[in-house]
Amino acid sequence: MWRLDPWRKRIILLLILLELLSAHSLRADSVFLPLKLALVKSGFDKKVVEELYASPYVRFLPGLIKTCAVYKESKLNYKHFLEKKYVEMGKNYLARHIDVLTLAEKRYGVSKEVITAIIGVESHYGRFSGRYRVFNVLSTLALPAFERNFAREFHLTPSQILHLKRKSKWAYSQLKAFIIYTQKGGLDPFSIRGSVFGAFGVCQFVPSSVLKYGCDGNQDGRIDLFEPADAIMSIANYLAQHGWSKATSTQGKQQVLMSYNASPYYVHTVLQLAILIKSGP
């Protein structure tokens, strides 16, 4: 029986893999054609758009379509973040970043414990900030807004289709903001990973929030929300801009936090976690 030597096997397997990746990339490129046309029409340079979607890292993520159609943030339960181990993690995080947290509190009037609690709930104190390439997520979620029958292919109910269409328009605006953010910062858009809805960094900002509220906390000339100092200052700035200092009551602070995440469970957990982090050993 004729056999290939190990080296030739590796070469053939590599060629097959490259061919599969190329085919996948071409399929993704054709799927995103309506989106590419829309981006160019809205003012993005055609060459830039073509280069972005010609990347071997471009992927269409059909599983996110169904997820987006049925997902409800308000139904999530955040109780586990109030467990002792998460509270201790919060105390440790606050101690490690006490200087920048104190500065943020002084500059923006936002409690350092609240900032820490948000980071805890959003990314487990920076440990888990998402595994999906943000560019692919936003491109996938934006697509139904430009494909007339796209959502029906996923066997969705009329209400789910309507929700998906609204979400797609939002995702398209976030995709444009993400491209602008990466271009301004000279960043590789495919190096940034985040959640299933395109939020990224320690503080899980969506791209439009990065553009509007992002801060260069460590003063290195760029806004990188995976850097604790930038994320901390950005959270503080966001809450301050939404009226934190004027919110003298608990109800007022709840309303401000609702702008960050419109889930009562989330808001309750952040405020309770902040209290626990502030408490003694």
For 24-40, how does the pLDDT look when each residue is reduced to its tens digit (9 = 90+)?
444 566 789 999 999 99
8 pLDDT more than 50: no
pLDDT digits (tens, 9 = 90+) for 146-186: 766 666 677 777 888 888 888 899 999 999 999 999 999 99
* Range in 6-10, 97-101, 115-119, 257-261 with the lowest mean pLDDT: 6-10
Residue 171 CB contacts under 8 Å (≥ 6 apart), including other chains: 138, 141, 142, 145, 197, 198
**What H or E segment, with its residue span, contains residue 133?**
strand 132-133
Question: Which of the pair, 70 or 278, is modelled with greater confidence?
Answer: 278
First to last CA, the chain: 71
76 pLDDT more than 90: no
Predicted pLDDT of residue 4: 40
- Nearest in space to 273 (alpha carbons), one of 111, 101, 121, 93: 121
5 pLDDT more than 70: no
258 pLDDT more than 70: yes
| 48-64: average pLDDT | 93
Predicted pLDDT of residue 26: 41
- Contact between residue 208 and residue 126 where contact means Cβ atoms under 8 Å apart: no
Q: Cβ atoms within 10 A of the Cβ of 60, count?
A: 17
pLDDT band at 11 (very low <50, low <70, confident <90, very high): very low
pLDDT band at 20 (very low <50, low <70, confident <90, very high): very low
Domain ranges within the chain, ordered by starting residue: 32-278
Question: How many Å apart are CA 59 and CA 77, to the nearest integer?
Answer: 31
| 77-88: average pLDDT | 92
pTM: 0.85
Predicted pLDDT of residue 97: 98
The yes/no answer on whether domain 32-278 falls in CATH 1.10.3720.10 is no
**pLDDT over 70 for what percent of the chain?**
85
Tokens of 161: 């289709």
Predicted pLDDT of residue 18: 38
256 pLDDT more than 90: yes
Predicted pLDDT of residue 146: 74
Question: Which of the pair, 232 or 17, is modelled with greater confidence?
Answer: 232
| 123-152: average pLDDT | 86
- Nearest in space to 43 (alpha carbons), one of 176, 167, 208: 176
